[in-house]
Structure 1
Amino acid sequence: MFAVIHLVHDEIYFTSIGNFCNSTRKDEFSFPRTVVGWSAYSNELLYGFPKALAECSNDTGSPMFGPPHKLQYEFTLSDILENISSSSGDLLQLAFSTQILTSQPEQLSADKITTAAQIANALLQSANITKDIAVAAVTTISQLLNSSEERTQERDVVQNLTEALDKFSLDQHNNVSLVVQPNLVVQSIQVPTNTVWIQFTALTGRSGNFVANRINLHTNTSELTAAKGGSTDVQIVIKFPPVSPQSVLHSKNTNHSIGFVLYQNDRFFRSRAFRASSGTSRRVISANLGQESVLHVEMLFKPTAVPNASLYDFACVSWNYTLKDWTTYGCSKVNHSADVLRCFCNHTTNFAVLMSFRREFEYAEALNWITKLGCSMSIIGLSLTITFQMVTRKSRKTNPTVLLVSICMCLLIFTLLFMLGVDNSYKQLNKLDIQEDNILLPSDTHKEWDRGPCTAVAVLLQYFLLGTFTWNTLYATHVFLMIRNSLATSPSHFTAYTVAIGWGLPAVVVALTLGISYRVDDPLGYRQEEFCWLAALDPKGNFDFKLPMFWGFLIPVAFMLIFNTVMLVCFAVTTGKTNPHLTSTRHTSMKKKFLSSFSLAVVLSLSWILGYLLLITQNQTMYTILNISFCVLTTTQVVNVCTLYCKSLWIRASAK
């Protein structure tokens, strides 16, 4: 369980013979391959728990499992706590049983976690503690660090447990100098009084867990020394006040007692002021010197790797047991880089680095000439159609003019905005730009405040594209009603209704979308950062049905298309019957208008869905295919609009 400690030329290092105990069968139990210093649990189960445990050690010169320790299956955690409190039963056996009962921490309830923490606390403070009991207690605590999210009732219990670990790390009489478990390291050391510096370094193994041969101590080292390649995960250097020769002479037989406790995560240090919204965790290191004073403490932390995000800022903090939270008091940030973060503090306690991360964005390329050509042709065709409709409005009824001009106007404004404003002009640069001030961070996720223009473009794009579909649906409804009721003109008050619905419905949808999803301090709940359009993807790049792209755009458009499809079916049934009130010419004209209106809605849907895919596609081949398809469909819109709305102009010109 313990590595051998050597002190040569002011350097303390650890040696280990072999790294693993191979899987084996001992007595009636079989144990899996295990790292030296860790406990292995038997493959045989009893009521869902391992029947026994065995420690992998190299005390005999080669890695091998020690004698198995069986689970006292008649005891629950509550029974064990009661026995320890009443000083009845075999303390070592109770410690081993607790360790086994907490070997599956993800299945523990809040009450069992609390009870297990109380047992570990009692074991560490027991007057009868031995090396084996201490190891079992520390192993139990290491396992609890893997338990589920902390409940409120646990806060005081785990805080007491961290204080007990601090005291235990200073205690030398139990002959426990180093305990290394996957999530917890407890190091006790005594150094001569004239020691000026001491350095503690920890490197996690490939699995991310702590292993004994990667824990190192150095004395009289005056600075932080990061390992090559930035592989050092945590490092702390303590400087003691200078000692006068007289003091050394009078205290030549005394030593500094120093204790280090290193936690794999901050499970026992839950903050109210700092929120880990992205699920990150922080390593916590404690330095304990008892009544000894220090000049200063320097620390090095390796930044946490967060997928699809980069480090934005960090804060050097220490745990305040009175506040029960992190504080920056007495700590400051010093040199930092992309590989290491350095801190300076003027006291010793539990230290950590709180980090905030900013999402990394891959911005779409500016619209190339193919897309610009297609949009330009659409703009020309729409402008001609609007001009024709306005010039010839007196020769036709009012209602069709309002409908047709509104459709073309919405689509024209949308196309102009898409060409000129969809690219985000305020791009976030993913560079390391750490603030100098050491300020307590509110969250591990940095959110940029909204600068305005990109959100405004996204709002207008959503409004006018929804308006285009809405007015197209109203036009199809108008044509259908005229055919269904055999009317030469629109129903009364139809214009007022269409204006209210055509301009009002998109406004209501946009207002609801903004009210539900938009925040000034988090605009990406409403829009995307890569370009100025509705948010659609989660941080992992998957389509998120909770974001506005789905319910603020795709759902309303889907309802409109379904409505148009239903009307198309009804239209087919109606026109399939002989209607004496409609002439053949009028019947054919109405049929073509309705089918053209429906086809326009389909082309609109396909073209702008492809436009959305065009902006988020990274594959160059797919980008080219989508770009050409988008261009074809946008130019098809021009043909469709001109054919539908300017045909009478061509007929009149031919007649002349």
Structure 2
Amino acid sequence: MLVLNLNIKENVGRNMEQNNGQTTSYNQQKQYYCTFHVQEYNLNSAAEIRAFINAALTSKYANGSIVIQAMDVEINHIVPKNCLEETTSTIYGEYIWPEAFPQVNQEMACKKPKSERAYRLCKLHIETDTTSWAEPDMRHCNQLVIISDLDNITVTAGNGAEVVDIIQDLVDVQLGNSDRLTSSELNSVVEKLNEVVDVSVIRPAVGAAIVNIIADLLLSKTNVTPVANNILNLTDRMGDNMDFQGESVSVTAPSLALSMINADTDRFSGLTFGASSVSSVLIPKTFVNKSFVSEPLPNTNATISLPSTLYNFFTKNTSRVQFQFYGTNDLFQDPYMNATQSNWTLNSFIVSASINNTHVFNLTDRVVVTLTHQNPKLSGDTVQCMFWDFQKNSGQGGWNSRGCETRSISSYQTSCLCDHLTHFAVLLDVSRTNTSETDSLILTLISYLGCGISSIFLGITLLTYLTFEKLRRDYPSKILINLSAALLGLSMLFLLDSWLSSFSNYGLCIATAATLHYFLLASFTWMGLEAIHMYLALVKVFNTYIPSYIFKFCAVGWGVPLVIVSLVLAIDKDAYGNAIAKEATVIESSDPFCWLQNDVFFYVTVVAFVLLILLCNTSVFIVVLIQIRQMSANMPSANSRSSLQDLRAVASLTVLLGLTWSMGFFSFGPGRVVLMYLFTIFNTLQGFFVFLFHCLMKENVRKQWRIHLCCGRFRLGDYSDWSHSVTVGGRGKKNNLVNSNSGASNSTFTIRKVSDSSTSSVQNHHH
């Protein structure tokens, strides 16, 4: 069958009769591409065909007053070239296809079974008058290569396209027989694609094929999490190394889109990339604007705008900007977020930007990323801009908010201002808390106000005990000084945290979060040591001598938190960072807050640690209450004054042992908001209550104030009789810690000492 491609140019004269009887001619040049099957017209030569076509095109057409006739027809006979011999390596074996005429379907015997045939068309492209081989039709041939055989295929600089075709065929066959690839098959595919990207010249067609393979894997049920970072690095390198003509090129596949732009380093005024996709199974549309646009591009799900100052990171060899869009989150599974059933969930598509071979960070003019929510943000929900941190979770990757500021545009969109380039997304807190915006604001104000008041009065408490030497002679006072110092550090760091976080300095934020973590642990450690001292002083019924008593307490009180924080920093310093404040930090706020971001470290080093201390302190508290009640029962002359002393002792012990922190573990259910208010009030004012019970209500402290700070009739003379107030911790080594099981006559005095020192210290009484 002879096939001719005819390029026909005609000058068409259109004669139209107007109302005034005149006619007007319009000349128009058109170009037609026609393919004639000669046998259908019984034409045997090119001359006959030319005459036939000329007669057909020059015939007159008349319709009423309208007459159309071709005045000049030019017919060119074009003879396309044949498809040349070509060797292909496929999963069905190697085939050498002989030279073929245009539109001829070449056939060959299958490698296996020999009785079947394979076909390949020499395809004619009418628009360009060129020919090329179509994909082979191997439906009747048996597969000879499986995915495990990929290891035996050698990739060279020139066979990348063939290897990618083989991989595509293998993946198609496997996913046609099953809904997923096994772990070993997935590793083989990813390793061979990495080899292709590293060795071969990547042209847009090859890049598109690689993206299609990745899209097929993501749309299947294959678990790609173990190789997620490898795939992300693969696409980055592929875009950086792609060889293409022109300023830009884009490759797309279902749920994936990549755009590469060769930026003009001399006239760079910013870049804006946008992508839209209805679902993860559709091919996204991409948009590129060669300027900085702070507003989101219309009809897009994700927009990322790069400032003009990015040119500072350009060099002669690194001027390619790459954008990526992911309509699926399969490659961004935070292992610890999933393991701990975190309330945070991905609520947008993922978009990224990068400059080849350049790490972009600490941008003064920040990148603007606007993302559309997959689920609308409801009242009380919290959204947070995050980026994919490849180094987090021991190299498995995870979400991190460092260097990103969140600006909520509406219930459907969030804008992120970030000082670096990577993969960005919006995460939603789906805990669905019942705290309204009003309650959150009030709790925030109470938190800052309470911590401010506590900081002032803790400072006064420390200054009082450090100034007046007589007040710090006993062990309870020395323990109180250390506890006050830890609580003061905790309150001050909490007040300064948001301000320090606003600098968006990575190192400063880690230092702030680690220091806050340290003072929180130190505060609870000293509360636990208060309980230990109380137990030794009141409950144990035999005399105990402990050398270097306070020194050992200090080693534990300040050393244990230091060891814990140091271990966290050594294991993963990125466990600390910039994040939305959680309820565990007393307030609920959308402001950036430097704190523990890793849930595993948070639950192990904070929640578990605090819970252990509170359980021990509660046990000691109950034992002390029983002891006090037994002493009161032995007092025949009990009166209202002793009851008041009991109440004061209970309140004082509750504050020093930090028992009010236990309300945080019960902040759920219908009474959640009420408990949150109580939790916030009592714990942020813990420092004030320490001052109230151990300075303002303590007789010895008031006397020292009157001796040294008052004048006139309020001033006391030097008060030197301290014999009845000296508790354990005197100068005698053998009296470092003395416990006595006092009788009824001593019970009132013992209760008073619990109230005064809140460490259950007792005097050395002899029976």
Taking structure 1 as the reference length, the TM-score comes to 0.44
Greater relative CO (CA pairs within 8 A, separation 6+): 1
When normalised by structure 2's length, the TM-score is 0.39
| Bigger Rg, structure 1 or 2 | 2
